[in-house]
Amino acid sequence: MNAVIGKQNQNTPRYDRLGNLAMSLPLPQKDDNPDELERALRLSGILQTTLEVDKLIEILAHEILRLIEYQSICYTHQDLGIEQTIGEPANHSCTYRLVVSGETLGELVLTRKKKFTKAETALIETLLCGVVYPLRNALLYQKAIEAAHKDPLTGVNNRASMDEIIDREVNLSSRHGSQLSLLALDIDLFKKINDTHGHATGDCVIKAVAEAIKTAIRSSDMVFRYGGEEFLILLSNTDREGATLLADRMRQKIEETCIICDGTQVSTTVSIGITCMLPENDTRKALFSRADAALYQAKSSGRNCCKFFSADED
C-alpha cells in the first residue's frame, strides 16, 4: 500500500500562493537504499509509542532535527482545528500534504533561513513515509476521544465530560483567584413544542438554540448539553456583571431567532440562571446548585428572563 505525500514548491516564502507540484511517493522498499528504509522504519516505530498528535509532532520535529537543520516545523489539520508550531518561521519552506489511502492527514511545513537542498528534501520525504500511519492512528484516536465527549445532536460538550471539566475550572479559579461564572439555560415550554410539532422539530429547536449559544460566547467559554433541553455554559474570567450581560444578550438573540424546521417556523424563548464562584471554599456541586436555583427563579418569574443567585441571596 502506498503512502502519498503531496509536495509543494520549496525554497519560497511560507505564505506564498501554493504551487502545483503534487507528487506521489511510495513507501521505501527493501530494494531501495537500505539507509532510507531503516530511517523510515525507525521513525515509524518511535512514533507508534504515542497516540497524542501534539506529542507525535514533537517527536517528529526532534527526529528530523537530528538529520537536517531547520528553524520551524508547523503541522495543521483544518478539519480538526489542529495547528501546532515548533520554532520560529523563516523565509524558505518545504510544504507537504500528507495523504494515505485517499485520506488527508493534514499539512506539514518546515522552514529555515537558507534553501533546502534536493538531498535534504529527499531525506525529509523518506522520513515522512514513516509518519503517515502513526499519524493516522493518532488522528483516529483523537476523533474517538472527542466523539465520546460531544453531544451528537448539537456538537457541544456532553454530560459525560461536564463534571471533569467543571471540576478542573473550579480548581483553577480557586488556585489563581480568577473569576468564573456558570449559566444554566433551559428552553421554555419545550414539551409544548414536542407535543405540537413532533420530536423532530424539537430536535431542530435544540440544535438552533445550541448554535445561538455558541455564537454568543467566546472561544474560551464552554457549553454543555446537560439534559434534553437544558444547557450549562461555563464562562472563564467573567464576573457577575459580565455574565449577566452575556446571559441577557443570549436570551434576546434566541427570542429573536427565526427557527425553520422542515418548513415550519417555530419561535422559542429561554430562561437562564446565573451564578459566580465564591472567593473561598466553593465546589462544583455548590456552583451547580446555585445556578439551578437561579434557573428555577427565572422559570418562576414568568420565563424568558435571567436571574442571578448567590449564597447571600434567596
Phi and psi at residue 225, to the nearest 5° = -90, 110
CATH of residue 276: 3.30.70.270
- The residue ranges of DSSP E strands in 175-281, in sequence order, are 180-187, 222-225, 230-236, 259-261, 264-266, 270-276
Q: What's the pLDDT at 44?
A: 75
Residues 15 and 92: their CA atoms lie apart, in Å, by 10
Mark which of 114, 148, 182 sits at the end of a domain. 148
Evaluate whether residue 111 is within a structural domain.
yes
- The answer to whether the beta carbons of residues 128 and 98 sit under 8 Å apart is yes
Domain hosting residue 99, numbered range: 3-148
For the residues of 45-92, what is the DSSP string, one character each? HHHTT---HHHHHHHHHHHHHTTS--SEEEEEEGGGTEEEEEE---SE
Q: What is the pLDDT along the chain (314 residues), one digit of tens a residue?
A: 444 344 444 443 332 223 222 333 444 444 445 565 566 667 777 888 888 999 999 989 988 888 899 999 999 998 888 999 999 999 999 999 998 888 899 999 999 999 999 999 988 888 888 888 899 999 998 888 777 789 999 999 998 888 889 999 999 999 888 999 999 999 999 999 999 999 999 999 999 999 999 999 998 899 999 989 999 999 999 999 999 999 999 999 999 999 999 899 999 999 999 999 998 889 999 999 999 999 999 999 999 999 998 655 54
Residues 163 and 304 in one domain: yes
> Which set of grid coordinates corresponds to residue 10?
520549496
Residues 68 and 198 in one domain: no
Number of structural domains found in the chain: 2
The verdict on whether 229 is a catalytic residue reads yes
Mark which of 116, 148, 180 sits at the end of a domain. 148
Residues 134 and 166 in one domain: no
Residues 67 and 130 in one domain: yes
Q: What's the pLDDT at 310?
A: 60
Residues 136 and 144: their CA atoms lie apart, in Å, by 12
Residue 150 DSSP code: B
Active-site residue, selected from the candidate residues 36, 107, 169, 229:
229
Residues 167 and 230 in one domain: yes
Residues 163 and 303 in one domain: yes
Residues 164 and 304 in one domain: yes
Q: What's the pLDDT at 130?
A: 83
Evaluate whether residue 201 is within a structural domain.
yes
Residues 136 and 167 in one domain: no
